[in-house]
Chain A
Amino acid sequence: EAQVTQNPRYLITVTGKKLTVTCSQNMNHEYMSWYRQDPGLGLRQIYYSMNVEVTDKGDVPEGYKVSRKEKRNFPLILESPSPNQTSLYFCASRGWGGSSPLHFGNGTRLTVT
């Protein structure tokens, strides 16, 4: 089944403790992206990647890192999480060329205390 898989679904951590949220897609998509969603603010793009070893900042990149060493994986790294990064996170991917739509993962709810 074609899908975008995020792990974990829920994560509670403390301020300053490094964490990684994984994202994997099995559709051979070139483009991958991370979003965060907060009440009243909609979906905001954090980082995106157009292919292996190519990443770029979205609208809210501060406090986050990403890497794209393999086509299928696009982990989101929080080196020193803070409470204002408490949010619902979504990973998405799409193929390149034409008009292929985004496919989203089921989300990761992160709480930083």
Chain B
Amino acid sequence: DAKTTQPTSMDCAEGRAANLPCNHSTISGNEYVYWYRQIHSQGPQYIIHGLKNNETNEMASLIITEDRKSSTLILPHATLRDTAVYYCIVSANTGTASKLTFGTGTRLQVTL
């Protein structure tokens, strides 16, 4: 699976949009971009994923660049409960690409 690079930490004011970047310059054509978050020491929680097109769900939006070498997770109106570590991973859901590597993620601190 392709390696990802994320900033170590970011701050965001409550109510503002949080934009979390991820670089995945070696992504393959069949690899999806997934975002998870982990609040304190709970199990990581799935947020959103995409292949080529931008995606939106009730939690967030995912913007993937046209060359697919980077992406941005957008939390449109961050709240204090969004304070967490956010992980970007890329993976093809096939039999030969099952070793999912998480990395150290971005610690997002949402403040008043």
Stretch at the interface among B14-22, B62-70, B76-84, B100-108: B100-108
Which chain A positions have C-beta within 8 A of B95?
A: 50
Interface size band for B? 20 to 34
Contacts A97-B93, A99-B49; A90 near B101 (Cβ below 8 A): no
Contact partner of A101 (CB less than 8 A), chosen from B46, B51, B104, B105, is B46
Contact partner of B93 (CB less than 8 A), chosen from A56, A98, A104, is A98
Query: What residues make up the interface of A, taking CB atoms closer than 8 Å to B?
Result: 4, 31, 33, 35, 37, 40-45, 48, 50, 56, 58-59, 88, 90, 92, 94, 96-107, 109
Give the 10 A-B residue pairs with the shortest CB-CB distance, closest first: A104-B43, A43-B102, A42-B104, A101-B46, A99-B32, A104-B44, A106-B43, A42-B102, A42-B103, A105-B43
